[in-house]
Chain A
């Protein structure tokens, strides 16, 4: 039975955006701090560190998760996806990202990575959401800049575009 002792650092290995990574962490180190610190994936943001604001939302094995509510040692062997893994190429945006740009779905951009990770996961499972469903899933995020209306428009537009892409494929 592996017991990781307090105060010491322990190696944790997992996949981050498809690449194997490892980090040395204390048992108490949050996944959020691990991503942002040793792994330098600073796109995931700390907004409240108590699981309410949603800025740190990532995907763990395909499901949405608050990185502040997880310990790094919990994701040993898991597959993590963050905002850095969304774009198809460094100079190209994904359909979802492009919709956010087109519809002004962001201002300061601090909450945006978490929202993108939620929508990326949600639209995969719910390709034809209506506005009410989108409001509900987005209610797990706080945005102080946009008033949410442009985010909803971006999400609806992205969903439509993704459906078209599927039907044309």
Chain B
């Protein structure tokens, strides 16, 4: 269980990274925290020609939380996000969800943007980005562009990122005062990929629920408020529309039930947290 051969580039600035992507396209893979890519290399499921290590690039170390929101550069590890002062006050959903991402031993290396790029349908970070109205900021040697999370994730481990592009950073807008946020997850064991993960945002009269682990990417829907008699029906419709499937760890039916029940609990918690 050893990786196939590849070249390794220790990039020193962003331009170097983008140059390699420009020249080598599909053959190149970004190596950030490596927590998803390395197992794939070891199993030889992925066989890139060149790995570009971006962790030495100063531009990617940006981690800033200002009035507009939170900017997380390509080189920021999940643990660094978790260590941000006031995270629980300013971004309660992130603070609640971080402990569910893998284990302490992988969060210490894994990056936020790497998880976004990997686009695993059961991973927490893509779900959080979608639920919080986040943006993915992409760069190629030619251009920079920004996509809302809802447009970035296009399917199973597939994204709108072009082959010559990389995720430069992700942006999560600051939570408006009075907005309620909640996150809940059910996995087989602690730290496993979610069977169902729910993230809810209650913003005044608008209530949104995002669900991970069921469809081929995180999906979000606006729902009625708790107490509204149509909520149950709307959750049921959402549960069915996600197209749950059976797999090794859970049945489609179980996933639908969790969307209904965990979804409702998450919505109610978000609504309660609303000031």
Any A–B CB pair closer than 8 Å: yes
**CA–CA, A27 and B4, complex, Å:** 10
A66-B105, A66-B109, A69-B39 known; A74+B34 contact, CB < 8 A: yes
Task: Return the contact of B5 from the options A7, A30, A57, A118 (Cβ within 8 A).
Answer: A7
State how many residues of chain B have any CB contact under 8 Å with chain A: 38
Is there an interface contact between B105 and A140, defined as CB atoms closer than 8 Å? yes
Say how far A61's CB is from chain B's closest CB, in angstroms: 10
**CA–CA, A127 and B230, complex, Å:** 49
Task: Return the contact of A69 from the options B5, B12, B38, B189 (Cβ within 8 A).
Answer: B38
Say how far A141's CB is from chain B's closest CB, in angstroms: 8
Interface range for A: 35 or more
Is there an interface contact between B5 and A136, defined as CB atoms closer than 8 Å? no
Q: Is A43 an interface residue (CB 8 A)?
A: no
Query: What chain B residues lie within 8 Å of A68 (beta carbons)?
Result: 38, 42
Query: What chain B residues lie within 8 Å of A122 (beta carbons)?
Result: 104
Residue in chain A with minimal CB distance to B102: A140
Q: Is B53 an interface residue (CB 8 A)?
A: yes
Is there an interface contact between A6 and B189, defined as CB atoms closer than 8 Å? no
Residue in chain B with minimal CB distance to A140: B103
Q: Is B257 an interface residue (CB 8 A)?
A: no
Residue in chain A with minimal CB distance to B5: A6
Segment of A13-21, A47-55, A92-100, A149-157 engaged in the interface with chain B: A47-55
**CA–CA, A49 and B212, complex, Å:** 27
Q: Please list the residues of chain B having a beta carbon within 8 angstroms of any beta carbon in chain A.
A: 1-12, 16, 31, 34-35, 38-39, 41-43, 49-51, 53, 55, 79, 99, 102-106, 108-109, 189-191
Q: Please list the residues of chain A having a beta carbon within 8 angstroms of any beta carbon in chain B.
A: 1-7, 26-28, 30, 33, 49-51, 54, 57, 60, 63-66, 68-71, 73-74, 76, 118, 122, 136-137, 139-141
Pick the 10 closest A-B CB pairs, nearest first: A140-B103, A27-B8, A6-B5, A50-B39, A69-B38, A140-B105, A63-B108, A28-B3, A4-B8, A64-B105
Can you report 16 A-B residue pairs in the complex whose CB atoms are below 8 A from each other? A2-B9, A3-B8, A4-B10, A5-B7, A6-B6, A27-B51, A51-B35, A51-B39, A64-B104, A66-B106, A69-B38, A70-B34, A71-B8, A71-B31, A73-B10, A139-B190
